[in-house]
Amino acid sequence: MSKPLVGIIMGSQSDLGVMKEAAEVMEELGVPYELTVVSAHRTPLRMVEYASEARKRGLKVIIAGAGGAAHLPGMVASLTSLPVIGVPVKSSNSIDGWDSVLSILQMPGGVPVATVALNGAKNAGILAAQILGCNDATLAQALDRYKSELKEKVESAAKNMDL
Ligand code: RP5
């Protein structure tokens, strides 16, 4: 197994149903990744250790998902200069997910989190691969193929709708 390049973390095991979509993208594109639970509130020291060791361990991008008072992506971004992609998770106690979205999106200047849509773990995976694709021609080609397939699907749907 190659060393993971993408760290997928989530605030709770209850986020896994959403966050596994990021892992599926990694599998599909052959990107080595790791996946674990790190809670900003319940395991703050684990979060500090994870974020501050991430670059040394060889990670290039972190995808962090959380719901409710979703402080994990922002706090991780405050502890590392690796790019952090935030996934707002609509957890069961959510006020329609707005709590998660705003907690992750509204970062102060200087500490960016690339926030994807509510439950948008799939796009988080694709964005992580695109970041890695800047320095990996094979991965960039795989992403180009993926985009072409998206285009072909739309074109063939449009053709089938032509009257
Ligand atoms: C957040 O609280 C987690 O990210 C999760 O989305 C939400 C609920 O967590 P559990 O109570 O299900 O562990 O920290």
Per-residue pLDDT of 34-93, as tens digits, reads 999 999 999 999 999 999 999 999 999 999 999 999 999 999 999 999 999 999 999 988
Q: Which amino acid is at 69?
A: A
Q: What is the pLDDT of residue 162?
A: 76
Match 């993926």 to its residue by tokens. 146
Asked if the model's pLDDT at residue 163 lies above 70, the reply is: no
Q: What residues flank ligand 1, with Cβ below 6 Å?
A: 10-12, 14-15, 39, 66-68, 89, 91
93 Cα to the center of ligand 1, angstroms: 9
**Residue to mutate, 9, 15, 42, 46, ligand 1, most ligand atoms under 8 Å from C-beta:** 15
pLDDT tens digits, one per residue of 140-151: 999 999 999 999
- Of the pLDDT bands very low, low, confident and very high (cuts 50, 70, 90), residue 18 is very high
Element (H, E) at 150: helix 137-161
| 133, 147 Cβ separation under 8 angstroms | no
CATH of domain 6-136: 3.40.50.1970
Match 């979509």 to its residue by tokens. 21
DSSP string, 81-92: SS-EEEEEE--T
| 148 annotated as belonging to a binding site for a ligand | no
pLDDT tens digits, one per residue of 19-38: 999 999 999 999 999 999 99
What does the chain come to in residues?
163
Ligand 1 atom 13 nearest Cα: 12
DSSP string, 66-122: EESS--HHHHHHHH-SS-EEEEEE--TT-STTHHHHHHHH-PPTT---EE--TT-HH
User: Mean pLDDT across the stretch 108-120?
Assistant: 98
Query: How much is the mean pLDDT over the chain?
Result: 97
Global pTM reads: 0.96
